[in-house]
Amino acid sequence: MNTLKRAVLKIGSNSLSLAEGGINETVIDQLAWVIAELRKQGTDCILVTSGAVAAGMAKMKLKERPKDIVGKQATAAVGQGILIERYSYYFEKYSMSCAQVLLSRIDLVEAEHYRNAKNTLEKLLNFGVVPIINENDTVVFEELCFGDNDRLSALVAGMVNADLLVLLTDVDGLFTANPVHHPDAVLITKVENVAEVKGLADSTGSEIGTGGMVTKLKAAEMATRFGTPTFLMNAARIAQIKDIAEGSYPLGTYFPPLKHKLNGKKRWMAYAALSMGTVIIDAGAEKALLHDGKSLLASGVTGIEGFWERKDLIKIVNNRGEEIARGIVEFSSEETEKVKGRHSEEIRRLIPGIKAEELVHRDNLTITQEY
C-alpha cells in the first residue's frame, strides 16, 4: 500500500454522533486532518459519510430515529445542509475544498447514470476537490435505497478504482463474537475469505445508524472482489489511517483483495444494477456457467420469473433457487418463455429474425455464487 493513489473513507452515524445528540465536530476535524495528510502523500481521497439524519434529529430535537421512510427523508433534508456546512468549515481549515455529492441507487443501477456519476467524481478529483458522498435519501423511493452507506462506499471504491477502502466504525474491527456481550471475544486481524466469517456478524444496528457488521462484511466482500484492499477500524483512531498509506497496519481487520477481480462492467452487473427478472436453469447449464466458462443457452432454461426487455439485466438461479450469476439478456421475457429448453434451430423458427444465439453471452455475464 506504499503506492496509494486513491482511497475511499467511510464513516457511519455512530462514529459521527454525540451521545447527547448532534454531530461530533472533533471527528470531522480529525477526518479533515487525515485527508489533508493523505493528499500531501499524493493520495486522492473520497469521503462517504452518514450523519444527515442524526444532524436533522438534533436540529429538530427528536429523541428517536424516524421509523418510516418519509420521516427519515424529511429529517435527512434538515440535516444535509448542517452536515456539509461543518465539513466545509473544517476542510477549509486545512486548505482544502470539498463538494457534496448525493447519490441514490438509481444513479448506479442504470449504466449511463453510473458512467455520469463516475465522470463527476473523476472531474472533482482532477480539480483537487474532495468529494463528500452521502445517499440522497431525501427523495429516493424506499425500494431504491441502499439502506446503508457501507455498500455505497464499496460501490464508489469500485467505480473509481480505489486502492484502499477504510470502513470507520465504533468498534475495533471484526471479533470472534460481539464484544459487547462477550468480553472474551478476540479481534480478527485478517480475513482472506469473507464467506467464512459471515456467521460472526451481528446484524443489529444502532439507534442512530442503519448498518451493522453484516453490511460492513458485505461491503468488504464487494470491495475485495473489485480488487480494493479494505480495512475495518475504530473511528477513535482516525489519525492512524495515515499509517496504512505508509505501509503499516493499525488495530483493526484487514481484508486483502481477491486475485481474480471483476472488471468495471462486471462490477456494475454484480452489485449495482437492478435485476428485472430471473431465469431458472438445469444442472447442465449450471455446470457450463460455473466450471466451463460458457454462455447461457436457452436449452438450459427450465423456468422464468418476472418481465423484462432485451438487454435488461437478470438473475440466473439453479434448480435449488440459489443465485449463481447475473447477466444482460438477449431475449425478452416473452421470447424467453417461448424458447426455454429449446435449441438454436428451433429458436430461429420460433422467433424469426433473431440474431442472438445465446440467452446471455459470457461477455455479458458475471458469476455471483462463488463469492
What length is written for the chain? 371
12: CB partners within 8 A, 6+ apart: 50, 149, 150, 168, 169, 170, 209, 211, 235
Distance CA 363, CA 355 (A): 16
Clarify whether residues 237 and 280 are in a common domain: no
Could you tell me how far CA 365 lies from the centroid of its own chain?
19
122: CB partners within 8 A, 6+ apart: 160
Show the cell assigned to 323: 443465485
Query: Which H or E element spans position 129?
Result: strand 129-135
Clarify whether residues 90 and 15 are in a common domain: yes
Clarify whether residues 193 and 310 are in a common domain: no
Clarify whether residues 115 and 217 are in a common domain: yes
User: In this predicted structure, what is the pLDDT of residue 261?
Assistant: 83
Residue 167 covered by a domain: yes
**DSSP characters for 15-58?**
HHB-TTSSB-HHHHHHHHHHHHHHHHTT-EEEEEE--HHHHHHH
Residue 90 covered by a domain: yes
Nearest CA to 17 out of 195, 169, 188, 153 is that of 169
Residue 1 covered by a domain: no
Residue 172 covered by a domain: yes
Q: Are 287 and 332 in contact (CB under 8 A)?
A: no
Clarify whether residues 180 and 321 are in a common domain: no
Clarify whether residues 193 and 284 are in a common domain: no
The DSSP letter of residue 360 is B
Clarify whether residues 211 and 336 are in a common domain: no
Q: How many domains does the chain have?
A: 2
Clarify whether residues 146 and 99 are in a common domain: yes
φ/ψ (deg, to 5) at 167: -100, 110
The amino acid sitting at 10 is K
Residue 138 covered by a domain: yes
Clarify whether residues 82 and 154 are in a common domain: yes
By residue range, what is the domain housing residue 305?
A: 275-367
Considering 245, 266, 287, which residue would you say is the last residue of a domain? 266
User: In this predicted structure, what is the pLDDT of residue 139?
Assistant: 60
Clarify whether residues 286 and 229 are in a common domain: no
Show the cell assigned to 288: 457450463
pLDDT one digit per residue (tens) for the chain, 371 residues: 457 899 999 998 889 988 877 889 999 999 999 999 999 999 999 999 988 888 898 899 888 888 888 888 899 899 999 999 999 999 999 999 999 999 887 788 788 888 999 999 999 999 999 999 998 766 655 444 565 789 999 999 999 999 999 999 988 999 988 888 888 989 999 999 888 887 777 544 443 444 478 889 999 999 999 999 999 999 999 999 998 878 888 889 999 998 888 887 888 888 888 889 999 999 999 999 999 999 999 999 999 999 999 999 999 999 999 999 999 999 999 999 999 999 988 898 899 888 888 999 999 999 987 54
Find the CATH number of the domain harbouring 142: 3.40.1160.10
Residue 199 covered by a domain: yes
Could you tell me how far CA 212 lies from the centroid of its own chain?
14
Clarify whether residues 260 and 284 are in a common domain: no
User: In this predicted structure, what is the pLDDT of residue 220?
Assistant: 94
Find the CATH number of the domain harbouring 280: 2.30.130.10
Distance CA 165, CA 192 (A): 16
Distance CA 103, CA 121 (A): 11
Could you tell me how far CA 285 lies from the centroid of its own chain?
29
Considering 266, 300, 316, which residue would you say is the last residue of a domain? 266
Q: Are 120 and 109 in contact (CB under 8 A)?
A: no
Q: Where are the alpha helices (DSSP H) in the chain?
A: 13-16, 25-40, 52-59, 69-93, 106-109, 111-126, 149-159, 213-225, 241-245, 264-267, 283-290, 333-339, 344-350
Sign, CA torsion 351/355/361/365: negative
Residue 97 covered by a domain: yes
Clarify whether residues 204 and 90 are in a common domain: yes
The amino acid sitting at 182 is H
User: In this predicted structure, what is the pLDDT of residue 204?
Assistant: 40
Considering 246, 266, 286, which residue would you say is the last residue of a domain? 266
Residue 47 covered by a domain: yes
This prediction's pTM: 0.85
User: In this predicted structure, what is the pLDDT of residue 106?
Assistant: 76
